Amino acid sequence: MTEPSLVFAWGNPSRGDDALGPLFIERLEALAAAHPQWQRYEALTDFQLQIEHALDLRGRQRILFVDASMACTAPFAVSSLVRERDTSFSSHSLSPQALLQVYRDLDGDEPPPAQLLAIRGERFELGEDLSAAARTHLDAALAWTAAWLAAP
Amino acid sequence: MGSPLETAANPERLRRVAIDPLSRVEGHGKVSILLDDDDRVQQVRLHIVEFRGFEKFIQGRPYWEVPVMVQRLCGICPVSHHLAASKAMDIIVGARQLTETAEKLRRLMHYGQILQSHALHFFHLASPDLLFGFDSEVSRRNIVGVASAHPETAKRGILLRKFGQEVICATAGKRIHGTGSIPGGVNKSLTREERDFLIKDSAQMVAWSHAAVQMIKALHRQNAALYDSFASFRANSMSLVAEDGGLDLYHGQLRVRDADGKLLFDQVDTQDYAHLIAEAVKPWSYMKFPYLTSLGEERGWYRVGPLARVQNCDRIGTRLAEAERQEFIAYAGENGRSGPLHATLAYHWARMIEMLFAAETIDTLLADDALSGDQLTTSGQRATEGVGVIEAPRGTLIHHYRVDDNDLVSVANLIVSTTHNNQAMNSAVREVAKTHLDGRKLSEGLLNHIEVAIRAFDPCLSCATHALGQMPLEVSLNDGAGRQIDRLSRAPASMGQ
């Protein structure tokens, strides 16, 4: 059965603060048992967003994308997403806006409401641990998400 | 085989154009072009910012951790690193011959990776150029552009990729960060139910892959003059082949043909790769330039990947892909041509033949009860050094390790596919600049020609670099004093990563 809420985080666990995405999912799953009031959700993670992830959006009522960001202010920023014919189409990964557009083009329906939770990161080198600042930002982002999951 | 456009005689007097960074190419790459006052191209270089930190990342770790850890070098082809490291560690634990179950499960995993990677490249990254043309408006040259104009094509690309991911998930144990392949074998087999789940779709994947070959073949034939000449250059070709000379992307020995198709080396033991090839360093590039030691740096460079593999092998072991290979080879010999096809855009045709081969191989393997066997690992006499070579989606991938008495990796050397193709990609870019840019006013469409040539190789640099944020295409034109006199840019997505 498809869970009504999807939390989808991405990043590389071995590249410093890029691990914020997968660590977010790990921490969220660990917290879930202690929060029976949360709405039903599914948590997914990957290295980056790809076209086939449009299939994971099917049947959802709401979506929360989570990623490390060097662009947002600390500790995190939340924004609503609108599907977009993304002109950046950079490399092998899609932006969440472009993924929503792929969903629209694939199924012909409007994608579910989606938000991006961008968690501020500082360093992204291979083999580095999560920075101290990112750990703090992660805690704050999880607290916000707990409220998001508890909301109907 | 060197190019006069590699280094200009008087660079200080020339204008510089930089395409930095490249779009739809993973990692960081930049093309710099020097033009004289008449817009004639004098120098062209593809600079790839290679990060060599992965050896350090691996050194000091227990050998059994390495097949899992190396997946984090690359978010695009983690399975290739997983398997190449496993093969090297097979040598370390003395497992020179895996059990039938382990070998077939690894093959299934690998061909799942080939299928999903080739599908992503063709349907997502390359088909926008091929379907709309190199000069089409930027907003159409992406997957959503394809989805609008060719909805069925885009949908098949997504579902082919999804199927490949499911094969990987079943064999590696997880959707990402799989642990399925271990030194000496695998840690799980497939249940009948897991096989049935995949079998229900596998014939469809073969049919769609077959259709994809017809599509690219038709595109190539319809515009043969362009496809055959665009970024075409003569080069040696290197790949693994099976003992019988057949196409084998999982295991084999090294074969090299020269630009005329004559065998230079055959059945070179992968453990001896370091005698076959060396890596040159150039002062203007972070990435090394591999070459055949016996031919030297000038004549010994080569191409790897689908175009090399499909023409290097003697046959393909699946029915439909072999028929397509024969047609490809026949085409290469049409109109009085002889020897291999050197057209860079023929990479796409060859890549789709390989995708068909992967789909057929998966379909055959899934029916094999050995996948559900219980003999998962083997071992033998311990060694201190091991080399694992695999044909990753983009070309030959080499992992080489030494392990000390404490079971820790003391030395690691990796040569990734994109490094093998470094000189080849530079040659492709120079051919494009010479033919399409020389003497003309630069435009975004013209500069996209450069990217089209690079993209055909499907370079993946994320194992070398990490792309922070979206990568807009920015091109600046400077005069001889370094002052910017023109600029083109493409807006990035709204959020960075």
User: Of B75, B139, B155, which has the smallest distance from its Cβ to A47's Cβ?
Assistant: B75
Which helix (H) or strand (E) segment holds residue B476: the answer is strand B474-478
What does the radius of gyration of chain B's CA atoms come to, in whole angstroms? 22
**Whether residue B427 sits in one domain with residue B415:** no
Q: Is residue B237 part of a domain?
A: yes
Nearest residue on chain B to A121, alpha-carbon basis: B497
Integer Cα distance of B246 and B108 in angstroms: 18
- Among A17-21, A108-112, B47-51, which stretch is predicted with the lowest mean pLDDT? B47-51
pLDDT per residue as tens digits for the range A43-94? 999 988 888 999 999 999 999 999 999 889 999 999 999 998 764 444 567 8
AA identity, residue B469: G
* Interface residue A85 vs chain B (CB under 8 A): yes
| Cα distances (angstroms) measured from residue B132 to each of A99, B151, B219, B249, B334 | 21, 14, 11, 31, 27
Q: Is residue B264 part of a domain?
A: yes
**Whether residue B138 sits in one domain with residue B256:** yes
Nearest residue on chain A to B78, alpha-carbon basis: A47
pLDDT at A89: 46
Distance from CA of B457 to the nearest CA of A (A): 13
| Cβ-defined contact of B139 to A87 (cutoff 8 Å) | yes
| Cβ-defined contact of A90 to B75 (cutoff 8 Å) | no
Q: Which residues of B touch A71 (CB under 8 A)?
A: 469, 495-496
| Cα distances (angstroms) measured from residue B12 to each of B8, B34, B41, B45, B413 | 9, 9, 14, 16, 37
| Cβ-defined contact of A126 to B75 (cutoff 8 Å) | no
Number of H helices, E strands in chain B: 17, 16
Q: How many CB pairs under 8 A join A and B?
A: 158
Instruction: For chain A, give the mean pLDDT.
Output: 91
Q: What is the DSSP string of B203-261?
A: HHHHHHHHHHHHHHHHHHHHTHHHHHHTT----EEEEEE-TTSB--SSS-EEEEE-TTS
**Whether residue B427 sits in one domain with residue B406:** no
pLDDT at A50: 86
Provide the CATH number for the domain formed by A5-150 in this structure: 3.40.50.1450
Q: Is residue B291 part of a domain?
A: yes
Number of domains in chain B: 2
* Interface residue A146 vs chain B (CB under 8 A): no
* Of B233, B237, B306, B325, nearest in space to B458 by CA: B306
| Cβ-defined contact of A88 to B145 (cutoff 8 Å) | no
With vertex at residue B430, the alpha carbon angle to CA B425 and CA B435, rounded to the nearest 5 degrees, is 130
**Whether residue B127 sits in one domain with residue B68:** yes
Last residue of a domain, one of B377, B394, B419: B419
Integer Cα distance of B362 and B250 in angstroms: 13
Q: Is residue B164 part of a domain?
A: yes
* Interface residue A13 vs chain B (CB under 8 A): yes
**Whether residue B295 sits in one domain with residue B182:** yes
**Whether residue B427 sits in one domain with residue B389:** no
Q: What ipTM was estimated for this complex?
A: 0.87
Which helix (H) or strand (E) segment holds residue B83: the answer is helix B78-92
The tens place of each residue's pLDDT in chain B, 497 residues long, gives 557 788 877 777 777 666 655 544 445 667 888 888 888 888 888 877 655 577 888 999 999 999 999 988 877 788 999 999 999 999 999 999 999 999 999 999 999 999 999 998 888 778 777 776 666 555 555 555 565 667 687 789 999 999 999 999 999 988 888 899 999 999 999 999 999 999 999 999 999 999 999 999 999 999 999 999 999 999 999 999 999 999 999 999 999 999 999 999 999 999 999 999 999 988 888 788 999 999 999 999 999 999 999 999 999 999 999 999 999 999 999 988 888 999 999 999 999 999 999 999 999 999 999 999 999 999 999 999 999 999 999 999 999 999 999 999 999 999 999 899 999 999 999 999 889 887 777 777 777 888 889 889 988 755 433 332 333 334 445 555 555 555 544 433 322 22
* Interface residue A23 vs chain B (CB under 8 A): no
| Cβ-defined contact of B494 to A97 (cutoff 8 Å) | yes
* Of B82, B85, B81, B75, nearest in space to B120 by CA: B75
**Whether residue B125 sits in one domain with residue B81:** yes
Q: Is residue B428 part of a domain?
A: yes
Nearest residue on chain B to A83, alpha-carbon basis: B144
Distance from CA of A36 to the nearest CA of B (A): 27
Q: Which residues of A touch B75 (CB under 8 A)?
A: 12, 47-48, 92-93
Distance from CA of B80 to the nearest CA of A (A): 15
Tell me: pLDDT of A122 over 50. Answer: yes
Distance from CA of B451 to the nearest CA of A (A): 12
* Interface residue A79 vs chain B (CB under 8 A): yes
pLDDT at B40: 86
Q: Is residue B4 part of a domain?
A: no
Q: Which residues of A touch B151 (CB under 8 A)?
A: 105-106
* Interface residue A105 vs chain B (CB under 8 A): yes
Q: Which residues of A touch B159 (CB under 8 A)?
A: 52
Distance from CA of B252 to the nearest CA of A (A): 29
pLDDT at B437: 80
| Cβ-defined contact of A13 to B25 (cutoff 8 Å) | no
Q: Which domain, by its residues, includes B370?
A: 53-419
Q: Is residue B1 part of a domain?
A: no
AA identity, residue B194: E
User: Of A50, A68, A84, which has the smallest distance from its Cβ to B497's Cβ?
Assistant: A68
* Interface residue A15 vs chain B (CB under 8 A): yes
Q: Which residues of B touch A26 (CB under 8 A)?
A: none
CATH of the domain at B327: 1.10.645.10
**Whether residue B78 sits in one domain with residue B24:** no
pLDDT at A38: 94
pLDDT at B148: 63
**Whether residue B111 sits in one domain with residue B34:** no
Q: Which residues of A touch B57 (CB under 8 A)?
A: 14, 126-127
Distance from CA of A127 to the nearest CA of B (A): 6
| Cβ-defined contact of A52 to B491 (cutoff 8 Å) | no
| Cβ-defined contact of A45 to B78 (cutoff 8 Å) | no
**Whether residue B476 sits in one domain with residue B356:** no
**Whether residue B208 sits in one domain with residue B87:** yes
* Of A29, A24, A34, nearest in space to A66 by CA: A24
Q: What is the pTM of this model?
A: 0.90
Q: Which residues of A touch B495 (CB under 8 A)?
A: 67, 69, 71-72, 79, 95-96, 116, 118
Nearby residues of B146 by Cβ (< 8 Å), 6 or more positions away: B123, B124, B127, B128, B131, B153, B154, B157
| Cβ-defined contact of B493 to A95 (cutoff 8 Å) | yes
**Residues 42 through 61 of chain A touching chain B, CB cutoff 8 Å:** 44-48, 50-52, 54-55
Q: Taking the CB of residue B346, how many other CB atoms lie within 10 A of it?
A: 25
* Of B490, B480, B477, nearest in space to B33 by CA: B477
**Whether residue B412 sits in one domain with residue B336:** yes
* Of A55, A97, A51, A49, nearest in space to B127 by CA: A51
Distance from CA of B317 to the nearest CA of A (A): 29
Distance from CA of A52 to the nearest CA of B (A): 5
Q: Which residues of A touch B492 (CB under 8 A)?
A: 88, 90
User: Of B72, B460, B493, which has the smallest distance from its Cβ to A97's Cβ?
Assistant: B493
Integer Cα distance of B155 and B260 in angstroms: 39
pLDDT at B466: 32
| Cβ-defined contact of B147 to A48 (cutoff 8 Å) | no
Distance from CA of A108 to the nearest CA of B (A): 10
pLDDT at B130: 78
User: Of B27, B147, B470, which has the smallest distance from its Cβ to A106's Cβ?
Assistant: B147
Q: Are strands B236-241 and B302-303 parallel, antiparallel or unpaired?
A: parallel
Q: Is residue B281 part of a domain?
A: yes
